[in-house]
Structure 1
Amino acid sequence: MSDILVVGGGIIGLLTARELARVGAAVTLIEMGETGRESSWAGSGVLAPLYPWRVPEAVDALARLSHALYPDLVAELVATTGIDPEYTVSGMLILDPEDLDRALDWGQRRAQRMEVLDAAQTAALEPELGVYPERALHLPEVAQIRPPALTKAIRRAIERKIAIREREEICELLIAGDRVCGVRTPRAQIVAEQVIICAGAWTVKLLEQLGTVPEIRPVRGQMLLFHAKPNQIQRIALDQRRYVIPRRDGRVLVGSTLEHAGFDQQTTAEAKESLYQDAVQLFPVLRRAPIEDHWSGLRPGSPNGIPYIVAYPEISGLYFNAGHFRNGLTLGPASAQLMADLVLGRAPILDPRPYALDALRA
């Protein structure tokens, strides 16, 4: 018997399982595919909301706490697994800060380093840019990470401490009276005292049998990967909600679309062309770089991007940690700690009320 069952093996599920295993809980993690292969694998790896002053306070609070937790998390993963998630403080250059006064006010209140640049200063930071606006905003403390390496490292770190069941889909939550007692899959009934749903865009499907469900819907995002040369582009660049992210090895990620296409994960020629044109307009040097890959992922969209980190109100022992929209990697460490606090009855690291099922998300 497992004390705690975590459903979903993306970044949220992996980090939640890790938090619980750290205190000695008997944890089983179940994933319908392979761990870390859905939206976590497809994500950008930017460890900050793209326009951080525009997100709700509930998202900002998780982002700031996760920002503080990431360096130690990555150092521990590298030391224990030998896998380097490539945590890099590359900074982020925002080329369309339309609400600049609001951004600067946010930065001052959060003690966030921000630099307003003119066209010449922007050109000095990124000589390969194709456009130099009159005003740009530089956030030098923004970090990034390689999502596939991160999820691989977390799995390696916990795989001897928990039971992992992959390629096993949940058919039904097992409920006895007003209490959860496990799940049923095509292979077995898995008994657990507590069940935590961390299934991203698929969370609602798992909870439909209960009637009351969180407002989470899949939002498809398509991305391109260029095989460029190292150091041609120095930092994350953001313009009109399109981002360009240089990796250490020279690869450059460009994203992303926001598409309401249900659970359809197909890529499209139209999105590929749109991403390509936006990329080469921002950085003409990418015209000389071959496209290495084009993929999509399903983000767990929620109202205003505020995740649900909460006990299910009508079923004892049932929890869910989902709905992070495009910020699962950004908010993951803090979300996992808050979820573990609620499950274990510890004092929560953050006020959990903004993440409740009935919290206002307008």
Structure 2
Amino acid sequence: MTDTLVIGGGVIGLMTAYHLAREGRRIVLVEKSDTGREASWAGGGIVSPLYPWRYSSPVQALARWSAGFYGEFCAQLELETGIDPEHQVTGLYWLDMEDEDQALTWARREGCELQSLLADRVRARIEGLGRQYHHALYMPGVANVRNPRLLQSLRAALQANPLVELREQAEAQELLVRSGRIAGVRVAGEILNCDAVVLAAGAWSAGLMPPLEAGGLPVEPVKGQMILYRCAPDFLPSMILAGRRYAIPRRDGHVLVGSTLEHLGFDKSPSQEALQSLRKTAEELLPALADAPIAGHWAGLRPGSPEGIPFIGEVPGVEGLWLNCGHYRNGLVMAPASCRLLVDLMLGRAPIVDPAPYSPAGRLG
């Protein structure tokens, strides 16, 4: 019998399985399509909340721990698999922020380096920046990862581990609960028995929850669309953000621009309206993108949750059912800390952060 069955093959499910297997647990990971092809693949890969000072302390705690973990972890994954997740520290410029004073106060309190600059100083580094911007905040330590390659590397690491079985194109249909504890999962018509289940299915997690007296899981899909430009490798040396939209450079010159925020259920089809809106944003940020070829346009479904605070912990009344979902816009940002926290709780170890804000107890319904 399997020790733990992980439902969901995004960054949260893959990283949870990775850490549990390193602790000697036998893992089966099931994914309804291909691993790493939903929200984790569709996002931008910034290793920070877009506006960290606007988030609650529970989100900031997970983001801060994860930011300090990513560089070494990505290097380790590359050694294990030969696939480079492309963790790179580029820094991030926020342009013409209305709450600059709040941001600077937050940075002083948290001990973060955050510089206030005139836009002309930004243009000395980013020559193609739009002329309409006047002021900027700059945090030099912010990194990004190339999220599709991070997911490929995690998948390869799991495939190489004899304690892990990956089952793709295998939809989890029902959680089986007997006498108040998890007994298994019905997967593609087959019953898989296990001691524990980790529900890490992103926007689809709520649909798998068993009926509970405490109520349902308030996680819902929120659509986001992105476009990708093909540029020269030195076109954009740093990430930039203005008006809730951002541009992210990759090492090979590709530039990601995103993203939309749409409440349209489970529809993840790209739209022409969003494409035109994103192109307008891109050309305002970096006018030269008007002449750059578009290499891709896609959409993904974020797992929206109250205040963007994920659910991490055991479900009250169902022994052996654990949640690691509801990360909203910061799944990749918070993944290392979220998965480490969950493993700490499952193994009865001292947790890396206070688990109370993420506990499903009192938050379901």
Q: TM-score, normalised by structure 1?
A: 0.97
Gaps of 5+ in 1: none
- Letter in structure 1 aligned against 2:231: A
TM-fit CA distance, 1:213:
2.2
RMSD after superposition: 1.3
- Letter in structure 2 aligned against 1:154: L
Which residue is equivalent to 2:32? 32
- Letter in structure 2 aligned against 1:201: A
Which residue is equivalent to 1:245? 248
Gaps of 5+ in 2: none
- Letter in structure 1 aligned against 2:43: G
Q: In structure 2, how many angstroms separate the alpha carbons of the residues matched to 1:256 and 1:339?
A: 29
Encode CA deviations 1:18-58: one digit per residue, 9 max, x unaligned: 11011111111111111101001101000000011001100
SS at match of 1:245: strand
SS at match of 1:148: helix
Encode CA deviations 1:183-222: one digit per residue, 9 max, x unaligned: 0122411010010100000000000544622211100000
Q: 2:222 aligns with which of 219, 223, 237?
A: 219
TM-fit CA distance, 1:228:
1.2
SS at match of 2:322: strand
Encode CA deviations 1:262-310: one digit per residue, 9 max, x unaligned: 0001111000000001101110111111111100000000111110101
SS at match of 2:60: helix
SS at match of 2:149: helix
Which residue is equivalent to 1:350? 353
Q: In structure 2, how many angstroms separate the alpha carbons of the residues matched to 1:133 and 1:226?
A: 22
Q: 1:123·1:132 contact (CA, 8 Å) conserved in 2? A: no
Q: Which moved more, 1:7-16 or 1:200-209?
A: 200-209
Matches within 5 A, 1:1-362: 1-161=1-161, 162-210=164-212, 212-358=215-361
Q: 1:32·1:169 contact (CA, 8 Å) conserved in 2? A: yes
TM-fit CA distance, 1:125:
2.3
Q: In structure 2, how many angstroms separate the alpha carbons of the residues matched to 1:351 and 1:159?
A: 32
What fraction of aligned residue pairs are identical, expressed as a percent? 47
Instruction: Give the 4+ runs in structure 1 shifted more than 6 A.
Output: none
Q: In structure 1, how many angstroms separate the alpha carbons of the residues matched to 2:134 and 2:270?
A: 35
Q: 2:316·2:361 contact (CA, 8 Å) conserved in 1? A: no
Aligned length: 361
- Letter in structure 1 aligned against 2:22: R
Q: In structure 2, how many angstroms separate the alpha carbons of the residues matched to 1:359 and 1:283?
A: 46
Q: In structure 1, how many angstroms separate the alpha carbons of the residues matched to 2:157 and 2:344?
A: 21
- Letter in structure 2 aligned against 1:245: I
Q: In structure 2, how many angstroms separate the alpha carbons of the residues matched to 1:92 and 1:332?
A: 20
Q: In structure 2, how many angstroms separate the alpha carbons of the residues matched to 1:124 and 1:223?
A: 27
Q: In structure 2, how many angstroms separate the alpha carbons of the residues matched to 1:336 and 1:306?
A: 14
Q: Which moved more, 1:208-217 or 1:330-339?
A: 208-217
Q: In structure 2, how many angstroms separate the alpha carbons of the residues matched to 1:44 and 1:209?
A: 35
Q: 1:221·1:257 contact (CA, 8 Å) conserved in 2? A: yes
TM-fit CA distance, 1:132:
5.0
Q: In structure 2, how many angstroms separate the alpha carbons of the residues matched to 1:358 and 1:243?
A: 36
Q: In structure 2, how many angstroms separate the alpha carbons of the residues matched to 1:60 and 1:314?
A: 29
TM-fit CA distance, 1:358:
4.5
Q: 1:226·1:289 contact (CA, 8 Å) conserved in 2? A: yes
- Letter in structure 2 aligned against 1:274: S
- Letter in structure 1 aligned against 2:56: P
TM-fit CA distance, 1:360:
6.8
Q: In structure 2, how many angstroms separate the alpha carbons of the residues matched to 1:119 and 1:250?
A: 23
- Letter in structure 2 aligned against 1:325: Y
